Amino acid sequence: MIMTKKYTSYKIKKSSFIGIKKHWQLLLFLLPGLIALILFNYLPMGGILVAFKDYRIRDGIFGSDWVGFANFQKMFTGMEFPRILKNTIVISFLKLITSFPAPIILALLLNEIHNSKIKKCVQTISYLPHFFSWIILGNIFTMLFSIEGPVNSVLKMLGLNESIAFFKSEGWFIFLLIVTNIYQTVGWGTIIYLAAISGIDNSLIEAATIDGAGRFKQVIHIIIPTIMPTVTTVLILNLGGILNAGFDQIYNLYNPTLYNVADIIDTYVLRQLSENNYSIGTAVGLFKSVVGLIFVFATNKIVNKLSDDEMGIM
């Protein structure tokens, strides 16, 4: 028994050594990528140590003193963290319940358009916002929704007496975030669902038609069940980003008067960076990464349980 065990482990070692020698070219191919991954992905993970230290620029990461969980304690008992956490979750949740179903509905409606020219045209236009940065979009939206902008002009024409200050009122600003987020994501989001719908076997639809099912029933009983796995996958990925309230969007639309509702984890971390509060900033960032990781795994597990391992992504 023992002999065989020894023999096999020896064999594995020898064969993997031969493998390295034989396939050195392939290993060389990996090298540039590996170096980049180590330098820019794994070294920063090591830099998380800063969260457990009292970081001083002069002393560097290794020279600064260990403080254990003091930074986290400071974070949870501080005034600002509850506010940014609440803002992040509220904005993210509101975006999820609006921007997650929107592309599903749009894809179902697009699928019912039989005039291929109109369909193609609407699709092409709706993908456009996906290709521009939030600096450009934010800039366009600040013009559109300004006091003198066309949105307020239209509201005035419709008989509204006072113009709406979208960038001063907290409620309207959140509304603006939700609407512009749908605008940017809805068209692009349909692609994955339209691909799933196009995979439906036509004979299923024909059989349903012969059995007397109307179009509406076909959608309910054939199309929606077919896209369900895609829907859950997208939902899991979205839930993993629950603490991503959309830094790019908010950073390019908000102003200090809106911090009360619009200051989120990422904007806060960026401010800590510019104010040299590295330790607190890292602690908050680490909190965000860990929660995100937990959310992906937990949602995946729940979906797997509920669907007997048929859905889920891992």
Partner 1 sequence: MKRTKGEKFFSIFNIFFMICFGIMCIYPFLYTLTMSLSTTADSVKDGLHLFTLNPTLESYKLALENENIGIAYFNTILRTVAGTFAALAVSLLYAYALSRNELPGRKIFSNILIFTMLFNGGTIPTYLVIKGLHLLDNRLVYILPGLISAYNVIIARSFFKSIPESLHESAILDGASEFMIFTRIYVPLSKAVIMTLVLWIAVGHWNAWYDSLIYINDEKKIVVQLLLKRMMDSAQTQMVDTIITGDSIAIMPITIRSATTIIAMLPILAIYPFIQKYFMGGVMLGAVKG
CB 238 within 8 A of CB 96: yes
Task: Give whichever of 30 and 302 is closer to partner 1, judged by the CB atom.
Answer: 30
Between helix 116-127 and helix 170-198 the angle, nearest 10°, is 130
Q: Does 230 bind partner 1 (CB under 8 A)?
A: yes
The nearest distance, CB 220 to partner 1, in angstroms, is 14
- Give the integer Cα–Cα distance in Å for 22 and 229: 42
Task: Give whichever of 140 and 220 is closer to partner 1, judged by the CB atom.
Answer: 140
Q: Does 140 bind partner 1 (CB under 8 A)?
A: yes
The nearest distance, CB 88 to partner 1, in angstroms, is 14
How far CA 25 is from CA of 14, 18, 28, 29, 36, in Å, comes to 19, 13, 5, 6, 18
DSSP SS3 for 46:
helix
Q: Does 41 bind partner 1 (CB under 8 A)?
A: yes
The nearest distance, CB 2 to partner 1, in angstroms, is 27
Number of residues that bind partner 1 (CB under 8 A): 89
The vertex-128 CA angle with 190 and 163, nearest 5°, equals: 100
Q: Does 27 bind partner 1 (CB under 8 A)?
A: yes
Choosing from 84, 286, 303, 311, the residue that interacts with partner 1 (CB under 8 A) is 286
Picking from 223, 176, 185, the residue whose alpha carbon sits closest to that of residue 101 is 185
Binding mask 68-107 for partner 1 (x = CB under 8 A): --------------------------------------x-
Q: Does 178 bind partner 1 (CB under 8 A)?
A: no
| Residue 228, token pair as written in the block | 């369900």
